[in-house]
Chain A
Amino acid sequence: MTNTTTAVAADARQTLILGIGRELFAIDAGLVREILDPVPTTVVPGAKDFVPYVINVRGNVIPLIDLKVRFGLPPQEMTIDTRFVVIRPKIAGDWLNVACVADKVFEVAPLVQTSLADTTKMGLRLPSDLISGVGRWQDKVVLMPDLERILN
């Protein structure tokens, strides 16, 4: 364990590794407020399809986003591993509280982020404009979502 932490490059950032659909995503740990067990959701008729619900988080009503819809991944039923991750990204100059559905939350891990090369973009099979970078975690490819683009 000590070996791996010392081996971490200086420019690594602490990120939360999430499993969403078949993909792994990493969100900057500084943006994560809390990780909740699923709570009752409320449908918002007429809302954009990737923000279909609102939930109550400590007395505040916040939107629940579904990254699977945004990335065109197949829908997935809630399982015992499903969590709601409350994040607070800065969107268009304002801090915004949103929760996002994660099919599994792994761990907080340092991640060295590299920007997307044109060649890797081709291999993603996902809308690459919504991804700001990639990294490696436990020998697997992890995507960094571009929250600003996703939510705007």
Chain B
Amino acid sequence: MFVLDDMDLNFETAPGSAPDTAATHSETKSVEAPRPALTAQNTAKASETANAETNDAVRVQSGAETVRVPAERLDELMDRVGELVIQQARLNQLAESSANPLLKGIAEDIGRLAAGLRDTTMNIRLVPIGSLFNRFRRLVRDLARDLGKPVDLITEGEETELDKTVIERLADPLIHIIRNSLDHGIESPEGRIAAAKPATGRLRLAARHAGAEVQITVSDDGRGLDHVKIRQKAEEAGLISPGALVPESELWKLIFEPGFSTAKEVSALSGRGVGMDVAKRTIEALRGSIDISTQQNRGTEITLRLPLTLAIIEGLLVELAGSRYVIPLASVQECVELPEAQGNDRNLLDIRGELVPFLRLRELFGTDDSIEEHQKVVVVASGEIRVGLVVDRIIGSHQTVIKSLSKLHTGVKTFSGATILPDGAAALILDIPQLIDSGQLENRHFAQIHQEAA
């Protein structure tokens, strides 16, 4: 399903790149349409943009063959496929322990079909991000006019596809980031000329695939973040102690703290200190991450990393006190053995010279404290924070179909959802950013929560 928007399409022949884009396209969408007749209307286009537009051209051509389907039906299909994947994993397990070659063969075939069906279904839900970018054209134009700052919006990678739900939920955080860039980042035309920059500001929105993730960057060529102002504000708010040595990258992250704004006056657009923290939370709820880099007078770049889909993830299955848990593989960095001599007094691990704090999940979960021998540490990362999680055993990787937890478990923040294992049991999925945040919680505190619940 493609969204036909109000964007103007200018076609041109791009002999170098067009044939193979069209070819790959007809392969993935199985559209046997001949390459569209392209007419040169605008010859002064970069070949990059021409490439994207050729894609659009193919879409316009194949428009007659698209079907509009209500979103719930797709969700239903995805649920069914999820169940199929779970049952297929069970069949696989059964076939492996069986001596029947016929059964093994069938299990293998079903496995291949299920994997194919899963990929196809996931692809159906993917929507090009261009539909979202186009919504921002108007926003940027209106903001630029209101602020009296001429701004060029440059978009790249509109053809990058992302899950429909992710795209919908991305709109608000991106609006906040764009507003911030225009309001705080880009200077007034006079200011820009004084800084030897073109009077017209430049805002770039780019999306691209990076492995199983999509990276979206919003960059401006404005004044960059002012680290003096941020530091001052952070000290006032008590986020850092005065004079403390804070690496710049950590300092920039403070703008995602709730209530943080360095704007001297509150405008209709921004400066109220709400927005960036909400944006960060939304992105994290989508199991993504947000990073910021900035250079004085050169501009600011905000990078969002998002998973391709919300429905199925690769997970690492671990065992802990007899229960099994899933750690999203995307946040796993490495697995190491917990040294025997590791005393209980210090929860620090030396990994190739770097000290990594670790959490004993047994303590955190309040399970019995009998110490298992040969415990493993799964090193996970959220942003730039690395934390080790001590588990009893690492079982292996697991295709995790995510099921949400019931409303009765909304108070449980440590888990982002649950999944069903090949043997039919349920397993909980650890919420890594949340876990790292709550890392300071001690067993005592956990016991207290237990009491309150009772």
- Measured CB to CB, the residues of A under 8 A from B are 39-40, 42-49, 51, 54-56, 58-63, 65, 91, 94, 96-98, 151
Once the chains bind, are B408 and A96 in contact (CB under 8 Å)? yes
Complex formed: what's the CA distance from A8 to B365 in Å?
51
**Which of B405, B411, B449 has a CB less than 8 Å from the CB of A54?**
B405
Once the chains bind, are A39 and B424 in contact (CB under 8 Å)? yes
- Rounded to whole Å, the gap between the CB of B184 and the closest CB of chain A is 39
Specify the chain B residue showing the minimal Cβ separation from A151. Answer: B408
**Residues from chain A with Cβ under 8 Å of B364 in the complex:** 45
What is the 8 Å Cβ interface bit string for chain B, positions 355-386, against chain A (1 contact, 0 not)?
A: 00000000011110000000000000000000
Once the chains bind, are A96 and B406 in contact (CB under 8 Å)? yes
**Majority secondary structure of chain B interface residues (helix, strand, loop or mixed):** mixed
- Rounded to whole Å, the gap between the CB of B159 and the closest CB of chain A is 34
**Which of B83, B412, B425 has a CB less than 8 Å from the CB of A47?**
B412
Specify the chain A residue showing the minimal Cβ separation from B423. Answer: A40
**Residues from chain B with Cβ under 8 Å of A46 in the complex:** 365-366, 411-414, 446, 449-450
**Which of B408, B420, B449 has a CB less than 8 Å from the CB of A63?**
B408
- Measured CB to CB, the residues of B under 8 A from A are 79, 82-83, 86, 323-324, 364-367, 403-409, 411-415, 418-420, 423-428, 446, 449-450, 453-454
7 A-B residue contacts at CB 8 Å?
A44-B409, A44-B412, A46-B449, A46-B450, A48-B453, A56-B425, A59-B82
**Which of B324, B413, B420, B446 has a CB less than 8 Å from the CB of A56?**
B420
**Residues from chain B with Cβ under 8 Å of A54 in the complex:** 405-406, 409, 418, 426, 428
Complex formed: what's the CA distance from A55 to B365 in Å?
19
- Rounded to whole Å, the gap between the CB of B49 and the closest CB of chain A is 45
In the complex where A42-B427, A42-B428, A56-B426 touch, is A48 in contact with B411 (Cβ < 8 A)? yes
Specify the chain A residue showing the minimal Cβ separation from B365. Answer: A45
Once the chains bind, are B418 and A61 in contact (CB under 8 Å)? yes
Once the chains bind, are B366 and A96 in contact (CB under 8 Å)? no
Complex formed: what's the CA distance from A119 to B251 in Å?
66
